[in-house]
Amino acid sequence: MHKNFGDVYAVQGVNFDVQAGEIFSLLGPNGAGKSTIISMLACLLEPTQGDALVMGHSILRDPMAVKAAIGVIPQDIALYEDLSARENLNFWGKMYGLRGAALRQRVDEVLGVIGLAERQKGRVGKFSGGMKRRLNIGIALLHKPQVIIMDEPTVGIDPQSRRNILDNVKELNQQGMTVLYTTHYMEEAQELSDNIAIMDQGKIIAHGAHDELVKIVGELDRIDLTINAEAGRVLERWQATEGVHQVSAENGQLTLLVDDSNVVLPRLFESASRAGVRITSVEIQEPNLEAVFLHLTGRALRD
């Protein structure tokens, strides 16, 4: 699929398959095109070029069938805050075609799943952020969709709520739902996904299971350093240091891919000392998706 907005090419020739029953992650920084792809798959936007099949239905020719098959959990909470939890679920259930006793039963079930049965009559406006997020997810489950699409559901929330959401994703998948998950957090993609597509600037730059992707960077270690001076004072020196494959600097932090951190790190300290620069923190990571992204794009995954 392609999608451009005037001269801005948000999605350029994206092509991927998601198998039934798997968790598939789109991993990339903000602006990579993840949300645009989600919007096209949810039939909110039409691709400029190309098509997609969701459960065999074309997003262009059969959008209603696509919408009936998917449940979309938007990044921002989208609820009617002046209605109760039950009233929200009732309404959205009707929008998904549920009626009468079937609707009542399903609403009861979902309230139990999301843990809001005790607060079903409470106004959503008075809920905590975590409760709203649970209700936000619950709405997407009302019609028992075959595919759940989650657009960065953990952005800006506390660690406990985030943990709950990740556990919910796994539970949903265990119940047989296919999950398409977008995130810019490497650890989420790593923990959840059967397959991952790494995106940058509208394109998929790598695609596969976690282990396959990590092999792209081989056995390279990642070292994150902060120094007490401008990065420019050591950048060239470190780039020329034996064992260093790649150096990038962003927001006061330098990230290096090196052969063996135990061997390269002393060289980096010595080089910095000669330049009159002091290294204030060091973090060493084994090969992971962030390293893959850095290797493929020359930039860190997170803003």
Partner 1 sequence: MKVLDIALKDMLRSFRSGFALVMMFVVPLLITGIIYSAFGGLGGDGGFDLPVTRVQVVNLDQPGPQFSFSFGQMLVGFLQDERLAELLQVTEAADEANARAAVDSQDAGVAVIIPPDFTTAALAPEGRASITLYQDPTLTLGPGIVKGIVSQFVDGFAGTRIASGVVADQLGQRGVAIDASLMQEVAMQYGAWAEALGRSRGEGAHPALDIQPPPSKTEPVSQGAGMMGPIMAGMVIFFAFFTGASTAETIIREDEVGTLARLFTTPTPRAVILGGKFAAGFITLIVQVVVLMLASAVIFRIRWGEPLSVALVALGLVVAAVGFGLFIMSFLKSTRQAGPVMGTVLTLSGMVGGLFTTGFQNLPAAYDTINLLTPHGWVLRGWKLVMAGGGVGDVLLPVLVTLGMGIIFFAVGALVFRRRFA
Detail the DSSP E strand segments found in 6-47. 8-11, 23-27
Taking the complex as a whole, how short is the minimal distance between the CB of residue 94 and partner 1, in angstroms?
5
Tokens of 208: 């596969």
- DSSP assignments along 187-201, one per residue: HHHHHH-SEEEEEET
Tell me phi and psi for residue 279, to 5 degrees.
Answer: -85, 125
Q: Which is nearer to partner 1, 67 or 295 (CB)?
A: 67
- Ramachandran class of 285: left when φ > 0, alpha when ψ lies in -120 to 50, beta otherwise: beta
Q: 195 - beta bridge partners?
A: 24
Taking the complex as a whole, how short is the minimal distance between the CB of residue 24 and partner 1, in angstroms?
18
Q: Which is nearer to partner 1, 123 or 245 (CB)?
A: 123
Q: Which is nearer to partner 1, 147 or 214 (CB)?
A: 147
Let me know: does 294 contact 248? Beta carbons within 8 Å.
yes
Residue numbers of the site for partner 1 (CB under 8 A)? 42-44, 64-65, 67-68, 70, 72, 74, 76-80, 82-83, 87, 91-92, 94-97, 139
Q: Which is nearer to partner 1, 45 or 197 (CB)?
A: 45
Please report, for residues 18, 155, 175, 195, 196, the alpha-carbon distance to residue 25 in angstroms, rounded to integers and kept in the order given.
Answer: 9, 15, 18, 6, 5
Taking the complex as a whole, how short is the minimal distance between the CB of residue 106 and partner 1, in angstroms?
15
Q: Which is nearer to partner 1, 67 or 210 (CB)?
A: 67
Taking the complex as a whole, how short is the minimal distance between the CB of residue 75 and partner 1, in angstroms?
9
Taking the complex as a whole, how short is the minimal distance between the CB of residue 242 and partner 1, in angstroms?
52
